[in-house]
């Protein structure tokens, strides 16, 4: 039997938890989030990325991967920590712009060349 989207009350764009993550769209979203154009305007992302690692280490920590996973677009694409890390490690376009920083249980993503966004 064919179920129309109208009878279920779900839009065609809604996903369910059994849907495979859309890797190509996740790559596009990560490129967008960490692009100079977005980074210059996205105060939340920038502040999260630029927080110091600790009181004694002023280097930028990066955004916690679990924080990034609550972004609506990534949730809709069924992204998870394993997929994000796999894509960042394997996709040349992402390796150029995103650095992975792991401290114990915490995994954070950091924009490479953080100073370049200021040109925007």
- pLDDT at site 17: 54
Closest CA to 106 of 35, 42, 54: 54
CA atoms within 13 A on the CB side of 41: 6
**pTM score:** 0.77
Query: Residue-wise pLDDT tens for the chain (120 aa)?
Result: 544 444 444 444 444 456 788 999 999 999 999 999 999 899 999 999 988 888 888 888 899 999 999 999 999 999 999 999 999 999 999 999 999 998 878 899 999 987 766 655
Where do the H-state alpha helices sit in the chain?
5-8, 23-33, 36-41, 43-50, 65-68, 72-76, 81-90, 92-95
Closest CA to 110 of 73, 65, 58: 65
Cα separation, 11 vs 56, whole angstroms: 49
**Helix 81-90, helix 23-33: angle, nearest 10:** 80
- pLDDT at site 70: 95
């Amino acid at each position: 039997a064919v179920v129309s989207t109208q009878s279920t009350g779900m839009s065609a764009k809604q996903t369910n938890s059994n849907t495979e993550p859309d890797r190509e769209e996740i790559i596009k979203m990560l490129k967008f989030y960490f692009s100079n154009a977005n980074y210059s305007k996205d105060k939340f992302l920038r502040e999260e990325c630029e927080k110091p690692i600790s009181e004694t280490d002023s280097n930028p920590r990066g955004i916690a991967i679990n924080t990034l996973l609550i972004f609506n677009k990534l949730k809709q694409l069924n992204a998870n920590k394993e997929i994000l890390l796999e894509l960042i490690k394997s996709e040349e376009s992402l390796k150029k712009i995103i650095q992975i920083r792991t401290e114990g249980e915490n995994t954070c993503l950091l924009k490479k060349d953080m100073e370049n966004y200021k040109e925007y």
